[in-house]
Structure 1
């Protein structure tokens, strides 16, 4: 059993920084904080709770696997993190439903309960990271003349702009509720970068057809004033009859660029490279002076409106 324990400690110590493990049933993310001679200390991300996983319990779980695969759904909550960590060892395998000893064809398979650092980031962290990548890219190229960029660079620029926009919109939604709680009618809140106010819009949705037509009848209004073509029913007619699309639709073609994929691993690798560059130049007085000057100019621009 000493060999098993040494392997588990090596696997935990070899995890990339910021990698997360997830319990198989309750889906609670946690990270390995430290490993010791007889315990592995983990911290749950949803609560900050720290827990020590004892070596003896790993041995007990290993003994239980002598009887065959273990159903993960049957695990008590306290045992879930043990099964998750055990799945890191090449001697065991999990398919998300059961935990068992590895067969020859399963050796080398990555644990399904391991989330790599690029995927473990929170929405706020993703927006931050994408904004950093975008800022670095804009600093290195002439984005004022996109047509002069090579195709790969232009594609990367478009993807990053799209990711920042979508991510920022999601995070903006999380700030909306707290702001509404602090905004009274006709009140305006001011920050360093701008102001916000409470705004109310009405979105109208017609009542059911029977209610609407009854209301029209009460006012002697003909039904054909409001009745129109139902696009869903029209599409059904196109599907089952000889009526052609050109006969009933005016079709206007719109061409746009669609983002079809994002390589989060490549973005994360680039982020790590930026972090290394910052570490290398840390302490250079010239850079510090440049940053101070940049911050001063930003403050001046903001105060000027």
Structure 2
């Protein structure tokens, strides 16, 4: 292990700040906290637990690899982080299914278990970042008059609004589930920005046809009263006959804008630029507070919508 340890530690120390490793089987994200002569300290994101990965345990894995590759799915949970970290070393290679010694140095250390800072962001962090970008854009353009904006800026505004709304809806879903565990049938919960209560909506789904027909027969209701045109069967008829679609369908055409792509790399780069600018300019803390206030206003608007 002596020959492998120093390059492995160097690889760990060279990771970009914010990078995250993910255990191969249980998919637990963790960060490299420190490297020492006898251990590598990691911290799990889901629990905050810090754990030392000891050099001698790495040696056991390396000895095993000198015999044959290790199938990752067979690893015990406690061994998973060792394998993920070992995949960073230039002498090792993992394809996501097995860990082995690198026969080709060109592919060594290309770990599939490593996430960049951009990829490692949690869902709430992504909402936060998109809201900051949106707040910055709203501060620089006149969103009340979209027709005055150039096409590129207007496109960016639409994409960011869409991303914030979609991301906030997903995070709101997790918050809703937690709130439902705390809300009684007639209870209201109050926060600084508003009040919530439990609401029940009913959605009806038809039972199997035979169950429905039996119920109708039992109450002397003619089956013809509930029989109608099956759209799927109608589409088949349209496909194999000269029947015109206009003869059987009323078509209501709706025109809308569809977001077809998002440049996450460009957004992340812009975020880093904003952070650096806030640190450099005088009054950066005040600007940051203004951005946070705008974020809160956006959250309120999304929640009320």
In the superposition, the TM-score normalised over structure 1's length comes to: 0.85
Kindly indicate whether the alpha-carbon contact (under 8 Å) linking 1:71 and 1:99 is maintained by their aligned counterparts in 2: yes
Task: Say yes or no: does 1:140 pair with 2:140.
Answer: yes
Separation (CA, whole Å) in 2 of partners of 1:265 and 1:202: 42
Q: Secondary structure at the match of 2:66?
A: helix
Q: Equivalent residue for 2:49?
A: 49
Separation (CA, whole Å) in 2 of partners of 1:103 and 1:262: 38
Could you report, residue by residue, the CA deviation over 1:17-64 in whole angstroms, capped at 9, with x for unpaired residues?
A: 221101112212111111112211001222222211122222332232
Q: Equivalent residue for 2:265?
A: 265
Question: Which runs of structure 2 are paired with 1:93-242 in the superposition (5 Å)?
Answer: 93-104=93-104, 106-107=106-107, 110-240=110-240
TM-superposed deviation, 1:135:
0.5
TM-superposed deviation, 1:85:
0.9
Separation (CA, whole Å) in 1 of partners of 2:77 and 2:289: 49
Alpha carbons of 1:241 and 1:66: their partners in 2 closer, same or farther (altered >3 Å)?
A: farther
Separation (CA, whole Å) in 2 of partners of 1:176 and 1:78: 34
Kindly indicate whether the alpha-carbon contact (under 8 Å) linking 2:91 and 2:109 is maintained by their aligned counterparts in 1: no
More displaced 10-residue stretch of structure 1: 241-250 or 15-24: 241-250
Structure 2: 5+ residue runs without aligned partners? 301-305
Kindly indicate whether the alpha-carbon contact (under 8 Å) linking 1:93 and 1:106 is maintained by their aligned counterparts in 2: no
TM-superposed deviation, 1:127:
1.1
Q: Equivalent residue for 2:303?
A: none
TM-superposed deviation, 1:213:
2.2
Separation (CA, whole Å) in 2 of partners of 1:44 and 1:138: 36
More displaced 10-residue stretch of structure 1: 22-31 or 130-139: 22-31
TM-superposed deviation, 1:151:
2.2
Alpha carbons of 1:180 and 1:27: their partners in 2 closer, same or farther (altered >3 Å)?
A: closer
Q: Equivalent residue for 1:9?
A: 9
Kindly indicate whether the alpha-carbon contact (under 8 Å) linking 2:22 and 2:114 is maintained by their aligned counterparts in 1: yes
Q: Secondary structure at the match of 1:104?
A: coil
TM-superposed deviation, 1:73:
2.0
TM-superposed deviation, 1:112:
0.5
Alpha carbons of 1:96 and 1:250: their partners in 2 closer, same or farther (altered >3 Å)?
A: same
Q: Secondary structure at the match of 1:144?
A: coil
Kindly indicate whether the alpha-carbon contact (under 8 Å) linking 2:40 and 2:52 is maintained by their aligned counterparts in 1: yes
Q: Equivalent residue for 1:27?
A: 27
More displaced 10-residue stretch of structure 1: 103-112 or 22-31: 103-112
Task: Say yes or no: does 1:76 pair with 2:62.
Answer: no
Question: Size of the alignment, in residue pairs?
Answer: 295
More displaced 10-residue stretch of structure 1: 92-101 or 57-66: 57-66
TM-superposed deviation, 1:166:
0.9
Alpha carbons of 1:186 and 1:127: their partners in 2 closer, same or farther (altered >3 Å)?
A: same
TM-superposed deviation, 1:243:
4.4
Q: Secondary structure at the match of 1:67?
A: coil
Separation (CA, whole Å) in 2 of partners of 1:106 and 1:256: 48
Task: Return the structure number with greater relative CO, CA threshold 8 A, min gap 6.
Answer: 2
Separation (CA, whole Å) in 2 of partners of 1:169 and 1:227: 38
In the superposition, the TM-score normalised over structure 2's length comes to: 0.85
Alpha carbons of 1:231 and 1:78: their partners in 2 closer, same or farther (altered >3 Å)?
A: same
TM-superposed deviation, 1:84:
0.8
Separation (CA, whole Å) in 1 of partners of 2:187 and 2:73: 52
Alpha carbons of 1:22 and 1:224: their partners in 2 closer, same or farther (altered >3 Å)?
A: same
More displaced 10-residue stretch of structure 1: 8-17 or 186-195: 186-195
